[in-house]
Amino acid sequence: MTVLDRFRLDGRVAIVTGASSGLGVAFARGFAEAGADVVLAARRADKLEDTAELVRAAGRTALCVATDVADPAACQAMADAAMAEFGRIDVLVNNAGIGTAVPATKETPEEFRRVVDINLSGSYWAAQACGRVMEPGSAIVNIASVLGLTTAGLPQAAYSASKSGVIGLTRDLAQQWGGRKGVRVNAIAPGFFASEMTDTYQPGYLEEMRKRIVLGRMGDPEELAATAVWLASDAAGYVLGQTIPVDGGVTIT
């Protein structure tokens, strides 16, 4: 096996949550290009077919499953559907998430809980459902955020708390499952990438934040997908419980 062979995911099955748009689409296509069949999960099931076409264009099989990760039963149904179709789950990319920017004195309990339910609890329920059937050598890649490590000038208590929680969840699942089950759990902390979330930012915000990006540009979703493929592959076989910032240098400024 060559070094490059270790990055391949041929014959494996990956689940990508939040696969209907944005970074989820990039993850799905990246995993398909690396050789994996892909289970596409999202609440907006009607939008999954476009992502499925990208997976099929890469020569792999796509399965679309309507999933609200905030619902433990829905996460279990997602895992059951993957097992029924493919007989295995090798990779879970916990990408589903939402963001808000509400001042802490004005944020309602419902607003705060919704972010935590999807971003943090949803990551847990999906990992739990998949972890029950994953075999040794499998991998979970949680999508955290640089806002779980630093701040970025917006009132994002719910989002930052949820992503900090994902980082803690990653460490704990890694120590629970790494040795006993042979399932590696790691996280990525993306910086600024074009997505539905960045589309809601006020004019001028991203230009101001660019001053903190050492590389001076926003990230390319394919760069993020490549990191996820690495973490899921044998190339990262000795990487466990880590959160990898992919941020152009935001967290060092």
What residues does each domain of the chain span? 3-245
Catalytic residue, chosen from 124, 159, 201, 238, is 159
- Residues 6 or more apart whose CB falls under 8 angstroms from that of 13 comprise 36, 37, 38, 39, 82, 86, 88, 89, 90, 91
Architecture of the 3-245 domain: 3-Layer(aba) Sandwich (3.40)
d(CA 129, CA 140) in angstroms, rounded, equals: 12
Catalytic residue status for 159: yes
How high is the pLDDT of residue 232?
98
From the first residue on, what is the mean pLDDT of each consecutive set of 10 residues in the chain (253 residues)? 96 97 96 98 93 98 98 98 98 95 95 98 98 98 96 91 98 98 98 76 77 92 97 98 97 91
